[in-house]
Structures are given as C-alpha cells and as structure tokens.
Amino acid sequence: MTTIMYGIPNCDTIKKAQKWLNDNNIPFTFHDYRKDGLDNELLTQLYVTSSWDQLLNKRSTSYRALTEQQKETLDETTVRPLFIEFPTLIKRPVVIHQGNAIVGFNIKSYQQFFAV
C-alpha cells in the first residue's frame, strides 16, 4: 500500500517530514492541496482517519484570520467549506500509510508510526 503525504510544498514542516521519509527509505507520493486539489471527496477520506479537530491548525495565519464567530461555531460541518477554501487551515503534513494517518511531524512519532 502506498504512503501519501498531503500538504503544501513550501511548508517547512512538510520539507522536514519529506526529508525524514527519504532518509528512512519510505517511498511516498505528495499531494499538493493547491496543485492537486482539495475537495469534499478527499476531505471525507481524511475524516475517516482523523477527526476535523485533529486536522484543524489553530496556529495558522488562516485560522487567526477567521472571525470570532467562525471560530466559536466550528464543527465538522462548518469547517468543511473552510478547509476547502483555505487548505492551510489543515495541519501539515497529513500522512496516510496502510490506512492509518499521522498529522503533523515529530521524529519520535514518525519512528513509532512507521516502526523504524
């Protein structure tokens, strides 16, 4: 089964995760939200492996740009169109490997997730 990394290419965290995967000889494909798209179908697939609140990047500029009302009313339904419009609201990277997902990048977590 293939490993897929989702994110945007100019993100420093993406670059660190890609380097780690390459250094550990873990083949992967990269899905660029901006180039390859992010739609309801892909978001539904991501929701199968991670909850919307795990995916939400509260440290992003996009999140800080939301109104207080938007932030207070966020739930699985209201965040969906925001994720599609502003993919940077999603923590990076999201990596799907053998049907499981890991969100963000941390060396120890990756070592455990990939059993390296």
pTM over 0.85: yes
Q: Any residues with CB less than 8 A from the CB of 93 and at least 6 apart, and which?
A: 5, 6, 7, 11, 13, 14, 17, 103, 104, 105
pLDDT value, residue 11:
94
pLDDT tens track for 48-71: 889 999 999 999 999 999 999 999
Is pLDDT larger for residue 44 or for residue 21? 21
Tokens read off for 74? 């966020």
Q: Is 98 one of the catalytic residues?
A: no
Mean predicted lDDT score pLDDT of the chain: 94
Catalytic pick among 4, 8, 11, 66: 11
**What average pLDDT does this structure show over 39-46?**
90
Give the three-class secondary structure for 97. Answer: strand
Q: 85: pLDDT confidence band, cut at 50, 70 and 90?
A: very high
pLDDT value, residue 1:
58
